[in-house]
């Protein structure tokens, strides 16, 4: 445990590839800390199912819809009083560009970049970023188990690309304190011991990079 006085971060962002458990952990942390949630609404994206059926044809529309959705949420956050009510988000806005680089052709990415730079609000930086790291086998199994219809079309190769992109991104990330969590064998949703130990660790995290990789017995 890092030797630091316990403090609840007012703005937490939880990140990780599809199936890592971002939304589940974000909701539970918000309930624990009395914060509001700021969650991606993937089911609202009318292009997402078509994207999983034919990625190259539908990537730009899918990505722009997510960008507009995230910018709108961050604009609300920018105007909010974080000291009155904290936030737990299940994404970083920088993740939008990560997905765009993975999915868009070069000319589409150039257009996306122009729109991103024009729209990007001046939003508060998270006080803590939690990166849920898990191997592709675990992600794929979780996606299959939760049974969301359009996600069943996700290809293993796509998960491999995303996992690699996330690893590269967080290898260099230093914009906020970063907690890298081995999420492969930790059940935040159903195991209170796992969850409570993570919460205790979060309350002690200071600046820099940290790792949560406990061995449970």
Question: pLDDT digit string (tens) for 140-174?
Answer: 999 998 888 888 889 999 999 999 999 999 999 99
Task: Provide the 3-class DSSP secondary structure of residue 15.
Answer: strand
pLDDT given at position 213: 85
Give the integer Cα–Cα distance in Å for 198 and 186. Answer: 10
| Long-range pairs for 160-165: beta carbons < 8 A, 24 or more residues apart | 160/136, 161/102, 162/17, 162/18, 162/99, 162/102, 163/17, 163/135, 163/136, 163/139, 165/98, 165/99, 165/101, 165/102
Average pLDDT over residues 74-92: 82
Question: pLDDT digit string (tens) for 4-23?
Answer: 456 899 999 999 999 999 99
pLDDT given at position 78: 77
pLDDT given at position 215: 66
> Does the annotation count 191 as an active-site position?
no
- Nearest CA among 190, 191, 189 for reference residue 217: 191
pLDDT at residue 83 above 50? yes
pLDDT given at position 216: 54
Give the integer Cα–Cα distance in Å for 117 and 160. Answer: 28
Question: Among 25-29, 44-48, 188-192, which is the least confidently predicted range?
Answer: 188-192
Give the side-chain half-sphere CA count within 13 A for 15. Answer: 27
pTM of the model: 0.91
pLDDT-based confidence at residue 82 (cuts at 50, 70, 90):
low
Q: Which of 44, 90, 175, 187 is catalytic?
A: 90
Please report the domains of the chain, with CATH numbers, ordered by start residue: 11-212 (3.40.50.300)
pLDDT-based confidence at residue 217 (cuts at 50, 70, 90):
very low
pLDDT-based confidence at residue 211 (cuts at 50, 70, 90):
very high
Q: Which residue in this structure is represented by tokens 């992109």?
A: 165
The mean pLDDT value of the chain amounts to 90
């Amino acid at each position: 445990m890092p030797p630091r006085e316990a403090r609840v971060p007012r703005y937490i962002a939880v990140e990780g590839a599809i199936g890592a458990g971002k939304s589940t952990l974000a909701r539970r942390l918000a309930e624990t800390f009395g914060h509001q949630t700021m969650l991606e609404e993937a089911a609202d994206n009318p292009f997402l199912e078509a994207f999983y059926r034919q990625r190259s044809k539908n990537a730009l529309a899918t990505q722009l819809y997510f960008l507009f959705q995230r910018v709108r949420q961050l604009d609300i956050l920018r105007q909010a009083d974080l000291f009155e009510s904290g936030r737990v988000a299940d994404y970083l806005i920088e993740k939008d560009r990560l997905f765009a680089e993975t999915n868009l052709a070069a000319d589409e990415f150039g257009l996306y970049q122009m729109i991103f730079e024009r729209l990007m609000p001046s939003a508060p930086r998270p006080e803590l970023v939690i990166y849920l790291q898990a191997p592709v086998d675990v992600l794929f199994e979780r996606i299959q188990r939760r049974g969301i219809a359009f996600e069943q079309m996700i290809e293993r190769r796509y998960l491999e690309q995303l996992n690699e992109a996330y690893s590269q991104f967080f290898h260099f990330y230093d914009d906020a304190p970063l907690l890298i969590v081995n999420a492969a064998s930790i059940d935040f949703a159903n195991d209170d011991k796992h969850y409570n130990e993570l919460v205790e660790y979060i309350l002690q995290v200071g600046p820099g990079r940290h790792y949560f990789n406990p061995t449970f017995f």
